Amino acid sequence: MQRRLFSALALSTLALAATFGSSAIHAQPAPRIAVVLLHGKAPGQNTAPHYTAFKATLEREGWLVLVPDMPWSRGRFLDGNWDKAMAEIGGHVKALRDQGATKIVVAGHSLGVPGALSYAARGGDTNALVLLAPGHVPKTFYEVSSNTTVRESVDEARALVAAGKGDERNRFKDINQGAVQPVVATAKDFLSYYDPTSDAEMGNTAPRVPATVPVFTAVGANDPIFKRVREYYVDKLPANPKTTLLEVSGGHLDTPRLAADDVVKWIKTAVAP
């Protein structure tokens, strides 16, 4: 009787081991999520408080988070052309892959939004986009009378390129949240950021984002683009069931903080294995 009981227990133990062993073999490991957050345009910079708090929220999930100093920051404005910025994003993504990231989210705030869209549209390595308080709208330089100053700079830069002076540094003008600010750059570099036909224009790149890349957009009710964000680029994105538009209270700089918890929930769903 004891031998029969022992045999039965042994067989049961082997069966359980086989079952759990099989489950372990077929179970997919949890993804190692990493986020690259592209900050806004000068006077914006990667060390601004609204990025620090947002980064901390993501890091509490155990995610890798990088907020690099981009060519449009206060300290670098304006360093090189748009292609250089895209190459830098690719370098930051590779660094996160080298640290073991299996899922990459490229996020952006303000000018970082067209940066993220352009990177994805050009086939950059990313599994999802998070776009906060979209900013920098070259198309409106020729549509809104208040942007005449920037339009004149774009026309001047085009003329310089046509005259063979595209590689000479000059002073141009920009408008950031209603404030005029100088831009020192070559005409070619300036146009790569400010020409309405460039990849710095969200309306140009949104349709080219791969349909496999879901996009989360958050915009504040007091943000200048609030009423236009759908027509400007959201409705131009390829259909994806996980693509989301979130409207929050507050303004341009408030959005990262107000949307942080929703961003965490969305990323967990968007990049699920």
Which structural domains are found in the chain, ordered by start? 33-136+201-270 (3.40.50.1820), 138-199 (no CATH)
Amino acid symbol at 5? L
The share of the chain scoring above pLDDT 90, in percent, equals 85
The pTM of this model reads 0.89
- How many Cβ atoms sit within 10 Å of the Cβ of residue 103? 20
Mean pLDDT of 162-187: 95
pLDDT tens for each residue of 71-80: 999 999 999 9
Task: Give the model's pLDDT for residue 16.
Answer: 39
Residue indicated by tokens 């599994």: 127
Spatial distance between the Cα atoms of 156 and 7, rounded to a whole number of angstroms:
89
Average pLDDT value for the chain? 91
Task: Give the model's pLDDT for residue 17.
Answer: 41
Amino acid symbol at 227? K
Mean pLDDT of 165-190: 95
Task: Give the model's pLDDT for residue 27.
Answer: 58
- How many Cβ atoms sit within 10 Å of the Cβ of residue 8? 10
Comparing 87-101, 173-187, 189-203, which segment has the lowest mean pLDDT?
A: 173-187
Question: 179 Cβ partners below 8 Å, 6+ apart?
Answer: none
- On the question of pLDDT at 28 being above 80, the answer is no
**Residue 174: enclosing H or E segment and its boundaries?**
strand 169-176
Please, are residues 129 and 120 in contact by the beta-carbon 8 Å criterion?
Answer: yes
In the three-class reduction of DSSP (H, G, I as helix; E, B as strand; rest coil), residue 32 is classed as coil
Please, are residues 197 and 58 in contact by the beta-carbon 8 Å criterion?
Answer: no
Spatial distance between the Cα atoms of 270 and 265, rounded to a whole number of angstroms:
9
- On the question of pLDDT at 8 being above 70, the answer is no
- On the question of pLDDT at 18 being above 80, the answer is no
In the three-class reduction of DSSP (H, G, I as helix; E, B as strand; rest coil), residue 80 is classed as coil
Question: 83 Cβ partners below 8 Å, 6+ apart?
Answer: 192
For residues 82, 42, 35, 252, the Cα torsion angle rounded to the nearest 10 degrees is: -120
**Residue 82: enclosing H or E segment and its boundaries?**
helix 82-98
pLDDT tens for each residue of 188-219: 999 999 999 999 999 999 999 999 999 999 99
Measure the N-to-C terminal CA separation of the chain; round to a whole number of Å.
49
Spatial distance between the Cα atoms of 252 and 220, rounded to a whole number of angstroms:
6
Please, are residues 134 and 233 in contact by the beta-carbon 8 Å criterion?
Answer: yes
Structure tokens that stand for 22 in this block: 């099989």
- On the question of pLDDT at 5 being above 60, the answer is no
- On the question of pLDDT at 26 being above 70, the answer is no
pLDDT tens for each residue of 32-75: 999 999 999 999 999 999 999 999 999 999 999 999 999 999 99
Spatial distance between the Cα atoms of 197 and 213, rounded to a whole number of angstroms:
23
pLDDT tens for each residue of 213-260: 999 999 999 999 999 999 999 999 999 999 999 999 999 999 999 999
33: buried, middle or exposed (CB in 10 Å: 19+, 13-18, 0-12)?
buried
pLDDT band at 273 (very low <50, low <70, confident <90, very high): confident
